[in-house]
Structure 1
Amino acid sequence: MAERVQERERALVVDVLTRIADGRIRLPRAERNHEAMTREKALRILGATPQRLRDLVHDLSPAQLGRQPADGEWTISEIVNHLLLGERDVILPRLRRMREEDAPSFPSSLDDRTGFAAAPIADEAGWDVERFRLVRHETLAFLRALEEADWHRRGTTPTRGTLTIEAYVEYLAAHDVEHLAHLQQLRARVTGEGSHAASS
């Protein structure tokens, strides 16, 4: 049974990669905030994201959470699952290694289900939001305990090259902003309501 699940997940990843390569999947890009990202701004964004995420999805039905807005587009539950898996299984472990090791290099996350959502169960989106809140709490506790020199420790990723912990955190904050904007758009589409405020 476990092998069949793993095979299905791997097949889903291959399918997503294929559709990205031939242009059938496009992940919407949020409008960029041209104000420079700073460490302080990044930490504020990271701290605010769990509540903003909950505000966007807490009152949606399983049908709304699992509704695919268009062919090849992620559902709301898939985006929530992606945020959880990406931080819990990829980003936070990498940040910890960057602090403890001398310039580690990381394998691609595309070989497992963390880089792309893998057909999560829409009924579990609320649990994913809560699990995300807990792992984000871990991430922030880790970051707030860093010494100044730690922020400049480096690691090499397969897609972004060599970067510091500080640069990785700024990327993570921008990633939050992008997906929250996408979720706001999707919420409006699946509910038929006007734009739902994602920021305070």
Structure 2
Amino acid sequence: MVFNMNDAIEILERTPGTLEALLSGLSEGWVYSNEGEGTWNPSEVIGHLVDGEKYNWIPRLKIMLGETDDKRFPAFDRFSHLKDYNHLSIEEKLSEFSSLRKESIKKLKELIVDDKQFVLTGVHPEYGEVEARQLIATWAVHDLTHLSQITRVLAKRYTKEVGPWKSYLGILNK
């Protein structure tokens, strides 16, 4: 399949609303449950998504599209949200994420004006040279990965409670 930015945007636009519908108004037991030590709860995942909007996707795309010869991406701290957003409620994080995502999509549409830009590259600290289309595709799949993670964490809260039906519930057997 050929990369299509509008297809990626369909996912990117829907993620904030999907997360809000899933998490807004849930009790703390749901929002702060996780899969064990070293794993993230749904509230922490939203903090991570906020950081991505601030420091990852659009800033890296701007480097790729910029006029400078230095195309190296700064390192992205995938764990800074664990200390930076603890004081915010899930509702505040969801609102912040939604607002930032709207702005990011607006900037994405402003920055990419020609399909030829999809092959422009940047240098990832771990993967080396990557293309703009790969970054945008990864952004959409990153959203889907965290949606999957959140639903898995929520489901696992009732692993014992479902009793023998666990064998039919694939989300609990991964």
**Normalized against structure 2, the TM-score is what?**
0.77
CA contact (8 A) 1:56 1:183 kept: no
Name 1:69's counterpart in structure 2: 35
Name 1:125's counterpart in structure 2: 90
What is the CA RMSD across the aligned residues, in angstroms?
A: 2.6
Does 2:65 align with 1:99? yes
Name 1:109's counterpart in structure 2: 76
| Distance verdict in 2 for CA 1:37–1:180, change over 3 Å | farther
| Distance verdict in 2 for CA 1:122–1:59, change over 3 Å | farther
| Distance verdict in 2 for CA 1:172–1:166, change over 3 Å | same
State the secondary structure of the residue aligned to 1:109: coil
Shift of 1:169: 0.4
Name 1:141's counterpart in structure 2: 106
State the identity %. Answer: 25
Name 1:28's counterpart in structure 2: none
User: Counterparts of 2:26 and 2:86 in 1: how far apart (Å)?
Assistant: 14
User: Counterparts of 1:82 and 1:76 in 2: how far apart (Å)?
Assistant: 10
CA contact (8 A) 1:66 1:122 kept: no
| Distance verdict in 2 for CA 1:43–1:137, change over 3 Å | same
Name 1:88's counterpart in structure 2: 54
Provide structure 2 residue ranges, at least 5 long, that are not aligned to the other structure: 163-168, 170-174
What is the count of residue pairs matched by the alignment? 157
CA contact (8 A) 1:99 1:150 kept: yes
Provide structure 1 residue ranges, at least 5 long, that are not aligned to the other structure: 1-34, 196-200
Shift of 1:138: 1.4
Shift of 1:127: 1.0
Shift of 1:191: 6.6
C-alpha distance after superposition, 1:152-198 (max 9, x if no partner): 32211112321222210001011011110111112223477999xxx
User: Counterparts of 1:124 and 1:71 in 2: how far apart (Å)?
Assistant: 21
C-alpha distance after superposition, 1:109-144 (max 9, x if no partner): 23xxxx124144375221111111111111111121
**Normalized against structure 1, the TM-score is what?**
0.68
| Distance verdict in 2 for CA 1:128–1:139, change over 3 Å | same
